[in-house]
């Protein structure tokens, strides 16, 4: 990780920013500890001021003041990022700009199938607003109750329905953003076709706040499907899971919205950490997949026919099909509580990589072997999005050993495991960051594994749009 240098804000500049925001629009660092917390407890942020703008105009004025005085800005959304993209970890000179007060639903059109929301809107609230009009916003993830649309777009978040609906960028038609000089870019029109040069929306989406601050977005809505079918399936290996997925596609087509891979170890772990959850099978399998499809009436019958075909092909050893919304929620709770269970069990390394679907089985085998070569007694909980190739490896200490004592007794093991996973990912033509971004945690990894042409182009874009490097300095590109 490389250190970022910030100019120390002069008191008169901080006073000017406070005047723009008003008494309710800022917090002193000592009164705002939650803005410095890392969800996984690996880092601690710093800042000279927490700015809480209530409008795009205020964001623009703050950015202009920071640009004129070369002050670093760290955009803050829901605080759920796990690569330190929202944390200044090397200096307290930065200003954190949180958009939590900008949480209005500006417009919803069923005819255009869009909803226009401000960046501080919590994802789950967007779901609720769409549902009130018998529509849905498909972006979904475990942190939906706290993550915000601005951060979802800035990191091009993925989640559990990428297979059918795509990443955050695929669900966004337009953005409003404040650029590094304070200029407001207003491109919220719900156009599906706009072939007038560079697509600035896509340049900002996934830029992790390094090219500007997204303040609002026009998001795609979809009609609610009349029927949903959810099944948890016991399989012998990721290869079996992929074969099940291919067979299910032949029966269900594009109605499949999620195919989540879970290791048996993970099922046992999440049930042990969350006593309210129950294991789906009488005997825990080596692997399982959670599969969900939504579509027209009769989908449930097609799901049962597809599962029957999989049993006939000896691809499944057991299956549980949800018979109610409550049962569906219980199955999903096993998957959605897995990250928390990993943290509770002392996971010391968490990966976020993707490989082509055809490589998943070999990728998992090779990664597990590479990690066991480093330490044969660790536990590895592998899970992720089988349908889009995004697999997470969570490495835990041996049974009965705490994270603190294990890491202390094995100096350097975190970096060794992380690099081993990256090397196997590269071997299988994958990406070292599938959905969480680069942040400040992976800047060195990006330099190491990105092609020279790609990395140089990223630096050129950053230099062109943010020549003073005030926008989230130290994130993505050092």
pTM exceeds 0.85 for this model: yes
Instruction: Find the mean pLDDT for residues 412-436.
Output: 96
What does the pLDDT read at residue 90?
A: 82
Give residues with Cβ within 8 angstroms of 273, minimum separation 6: 337, 340, 341, 344, 345
What does the pLDDT read at residue 236?
A: 97
Rounded to 10 degrees, the C-alpha dihedral 109/110/113/117 comes to 40
pLDDT tens digits, 90-136: 888 899 999 999 999 999 999 999 999 999 999 999 999 999 999 99
pLDDT tens digits, 259-314: 999 999 999 999 999 999 999 999 999 999 999 999 999 999 999 999 999 999 99
* pLDDT over 80 at 191, yes or no: yes
* pLDDT over 60 at 320, yes or no: yes
* Rounded Cα–Cα distance for residues 413 and 293 (Å): 40
What does the pLDDT read at residue 1?
A: 45
pLDDT classification of 5: cutoffs 50, 70, 90: low
pLDDT classification of 169: cutoffs 50, 70, 90: very high
**Lowest-confidence region among 42-46, 134-138, 340-344, 416-420:** 42-46
pLDDT classification of 365: cutoffs 50, 70, 90: very high
What does the pLDDT read at residue 85?
A: 85
pLDDT classification of 188: cutoffs 50, 70, 90: very high
pLDDT classification of 40: cutoffs 50, 70, 90: confident
Instruction: Find the mean pLDDT for residues 210-224.
Output: 98
Percent of the chain scoring above 90 in pLDDT: 91
pLDDT classification of 38: cutoffs 50, 70, 90: confident
Percent of the chain scoring above 70 in pLDDT: 99
* Rounded Cα–Cα distance for residues 97 and 45 (Å): 13
122 phi/psi in degrees, rounded to 5: -70, 140
pLDDT tens digits, 431-468: 999 999 999 999 999 999 999 999 999 999 999 999 99
Instruction: Find the mean pLDDT for residues 28-46.
Output: 88
Average pLDDT, the chain: 95
* pLDDT over 80 at 4, yes or no: no
What does the pLDDT read at residue 142?
A: 87
* pLDDT over 50 at 357, yes or no: yes
What does the pLDDT read at residue 2?
A: 45
pLDDT classification of 355: cutoffs 50, 70, 90: very high
Q: What is the 3-state secondary structure (H, E, C) of 330-349?
A: HHHHHHHCHHHHHHHCCCCE
* Rounded Cα–Cα distance for residues 90 and 333 (Å): 37
Instruction: Find the mean pLDDT for residues 135-156.
Output: 95
Instruction: Find the mean pLDDT for residues 24-46.
Output: 89
């Amino acid at each position: 990780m490389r250190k970022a240098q910030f100019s120390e804000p002069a008191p008169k500049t901080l006073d000017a920013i406070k005047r723009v925001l008003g008494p309710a629009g800022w917090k002193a660092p000592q009164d705002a500890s939650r803005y410095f917390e890392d969800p996984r407890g690996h880092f601690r942020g710093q800042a000279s001021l927490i700015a809480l703008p209530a409008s795009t105009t205020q964001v623009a004025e703050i950015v202009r003041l920071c640009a004129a005085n070369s002050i670093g800005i760290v955009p803050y959304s829901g605080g759920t990022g796990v690569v330190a993209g929202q944390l200044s970890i090397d200096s307290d000179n930065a200003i954190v700009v949180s958009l939590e007060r900008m949480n209005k639903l500006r417009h919803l059109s069923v005819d255009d199938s869009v909803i226009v929301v401000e960046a501080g809107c919590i994802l789950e609230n967007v779901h609720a607003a769409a549902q009130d009009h018998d529509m849905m916003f498909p972006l979904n993830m475990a942190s939906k109750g706290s993550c915000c649309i601005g951060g979802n777009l800035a990191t091009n978040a993925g989640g559990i329905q990428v297979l059918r609906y795509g990443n955050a960028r695929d669900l966004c038609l337009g953005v409003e953003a404040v650029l590094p000089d304070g200029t407001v870019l207003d491109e919220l029109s719900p156009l599906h076709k706009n072939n007038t040069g560079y697509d600035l929306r896509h340049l900002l989406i996934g830029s992790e706040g390094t090219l500007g601050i997204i303040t609002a977005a026009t998001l795609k809505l979809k009609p609610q499907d009349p029927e949903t079918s959810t099944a948890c399936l016991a399989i012998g290996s990721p290869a079996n899971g992929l074969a099940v997925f291919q067979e299910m596609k032949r029966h269900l087509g594009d109605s499949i919205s999620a195919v989540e891979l879970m290791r048996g170890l993970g099922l046992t772990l999440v049930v042990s950490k969350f006593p309210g959850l129950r294991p789906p099978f009488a005997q825990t399998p080596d692997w399982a997949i959670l599969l969900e499809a939504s579509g027209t009436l009769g989908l449930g019958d097609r799901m049962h026919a597809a599962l029957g075909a999989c049993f006939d092909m000896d691809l499944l050893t057991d299956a549980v099909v949800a018979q109610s919304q409550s049962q569906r929620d219980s199955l999903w709770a096993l998957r959605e509580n897995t990250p928390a269970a990993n943290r509770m069990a002392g996971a010391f390394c968490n990966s976020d990589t993707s490989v082509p679907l055809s490589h998943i089985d070999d990728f998992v085998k090779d990664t597990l072997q590479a990690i066991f070569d480093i330490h044969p007694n660790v536990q590895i909980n592998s899970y992720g999005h089988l349908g889009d190739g995004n697999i997470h490896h969570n490495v835990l200490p041996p049974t009965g050993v705490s994270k603190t004592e294990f890491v202390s007794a094995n100096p350097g093991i975190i970096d060794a495991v992380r690099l081993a996973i990256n090397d196997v990912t590269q071997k299988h033509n994958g990406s070292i960051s599938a959905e969480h971004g680069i942040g400040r945690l992976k800047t060195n990894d990006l330099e190491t594994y990105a092609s020279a042409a790609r990395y140089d182009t990223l630096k050129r874009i950053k230099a062109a749009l943010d020549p003073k490097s005030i926008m989230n300095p130290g994130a993505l590109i050092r």
